[in-house]
């Protein structure tokens, strides 16, 4: 009986971690940009985002606004497709680690050590029976910018070979302008959905109480996710932080069409929100005790930036199928680019840990 149970658990783990398979979509509507939405064989759902204009940035007086959110008129000249959700663990890992063992996930260990993070391991893989969502639905996190770009390149090659790539288009990270345009989905306020706004304030209020000592850490509220905007995109607020193509810099003045900012490549923009607020994500030394101060992290116009060579927790991405953009080769400083370690090296090495701490201290 014990052996039967063990086999059953292993089979459940294998099924729950297997890549989601969908029927291959009709290439015709995709290539002609006529499909409103489609799902790739690995379950990656893409929805069409129409061309259009919007005001990027935030107005003065918006709660949580920062000085780097100067408003300007933006034109998105061509339609594109964007992933409905952040990339999932079982879409990312088979692409980046084709020889992976699905039972690693059941053990609940792969991805927690620094070397494994640098081998495309998730920061928080979860365990069978201990996670509220199946591993198939779990967003992939701990993805560095350079690996997010590599994933998109591999996806482009695969879809080109399958004949499902529109001429002049590629799978890539969205530009910062494309991300905000897609997030807003025609809205002009701080959030694209009233219910999301209420959730953010509720979580911020409870977190402020925890910081001030009026509530226990166990009383924190976690975002359940799944709210979609009018374009059909989920978790543009309150999901993972998401990489975009752009280098971080102040917005250039004046209106623009299809802007993207590249400079030295040392700091890349992240957009979106945080999946939970159990810890204070504020900068070192800053503690926010007003509930609405927490809005600064998750509004439509909020901007963050991280170094592209590091696998940060709760950082992911969602690909777009959009006009191809040539991305300059990023020169990542050595202290921010520990490198890919050998598969068999699964323990945190002291040199790696020291480099990681040194890089984090410079943030």
Domains (range + CATH), the chain = 36-361 (3.90.1580.10)
User: Does residue 313 sit in helix, strand or coil?
Assistant: coil
To which H or E segment does residue 89 belong? Answer: helix 89-96
DSSP 334: G
So what's the pLDDT on residue 337? 53
Q: Is the pLDDT of residue 120 over 80?
A: no
Q: Is the pLDDT of residue 3 over 90?
A: no
Give the least confident one: 121-130, 214-223, 225-234, 287-296: 121-130
- CA 211 from chain center: how many Å? 27
So what's the pLDDT on residue 296? 82
Contact by Cβ (8 Å): 348, 185: no
pTM of the model: 0.83
Q: Is the pLDDT of residue 153 over 90?
A: yes
Give the least confident one: 179-183, 305-309, 345-349: 345-349
Q: Is the pLDDT of residue 139 over 80?
A: yes
- Write the pLDDT tens digit of every residue in 69-92: 999 999 999 999 999 999 998 898
So what's the pLDDT on residue 97? 78
So what's the pLDDT on residue 271? 95
Q: Is the pLDDT of residue 50 over 50?
A: yes
Beta bridge partners, 53, equal: 75
Average pLDDT across the chain, whole number: 79
- Residue 97: CB atoms within 10 Å: 15
Average pLDDT on 197-222 reads: 82
pLDDT higher at 235 or 347: 235
pLDDT higher at 72 or 101: 72
Rounded to an integer, what distance in angstroms lies between the CA atom of residue 120 and that of residue 360?
19
Contact by Cβ (8 Å): 92, 120: yes
């Amino acid at each position: 009986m014990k052996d039967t149970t063990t086999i059953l658990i292993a089979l459940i783990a294998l099924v729950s971690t297997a890549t989601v398979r969908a029927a291959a979509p009709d290439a015709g509507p995709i290539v002609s940009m006529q499909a409103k939405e489609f799902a790739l064989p690995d379950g990656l759902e893409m929805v069409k985002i129409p061309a259009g204009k919007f005001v990027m940035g935030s107005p003065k007086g918006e709660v949580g606004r920062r000085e780097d959110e100067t408003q300007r008129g933006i034109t998105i000249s061509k339609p594109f497709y964007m992933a409905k959700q952040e990339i999932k663990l079982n879409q990312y890992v088979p692409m980046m680690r084709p020889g992976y063992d699905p039972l690693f996930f059941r053990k609940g260990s792969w991805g927690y050590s620094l070397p494994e993070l640098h081998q495309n391991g998730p920061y928080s893989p979860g365990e069978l029976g201990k996670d509220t969502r199946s591993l198939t639905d779990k967003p992939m996190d701990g993805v560095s910018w350079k690996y997010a770009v590599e994933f998109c390149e591999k996806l482009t090659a695969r879809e080109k070979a399958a004949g499902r790539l529109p001429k002049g288009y590629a799978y890539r990270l969205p530009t910062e302008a494309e991300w905000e345009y897609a997030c807003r989905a025609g809205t002009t306020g701080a959030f694209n959905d009233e219910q999301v706004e209420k959730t953010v304030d509720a979580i911020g209020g409870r977190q402020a109480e925890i910081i001030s000592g009026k509530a226990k850490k166990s009383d924190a509220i976690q975002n359940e996710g799944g709210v979609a905007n009018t374009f059909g995109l989920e978790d543009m607020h309150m999901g993972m932080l998401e990489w975009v193509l752009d280098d971080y810099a102040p917005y250039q003045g004046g209106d623009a069409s299809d802007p993207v900012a590249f400079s030295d490549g040392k700091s890349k923009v992240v957009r979106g929100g945080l999946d939970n607020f159990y810890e204070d994500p504020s900068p070192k030394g800053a503690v926010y005790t007003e509930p609405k101060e927490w809005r600064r992290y998750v509004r439509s116009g909020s901007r963050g930036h991280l170094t592209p060579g590091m696998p940060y927790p709760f950082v992911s991405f969602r690909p777009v199928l959009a006009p191809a953009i040539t991305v300059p080769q990023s020169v990542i400083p050595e202290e921010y680019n520990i490198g890919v370690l050998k598969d068999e090296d699964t323990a945190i090495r002291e040199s790696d840990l020291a480099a990681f701490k040194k890089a984090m201290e410079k943030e």
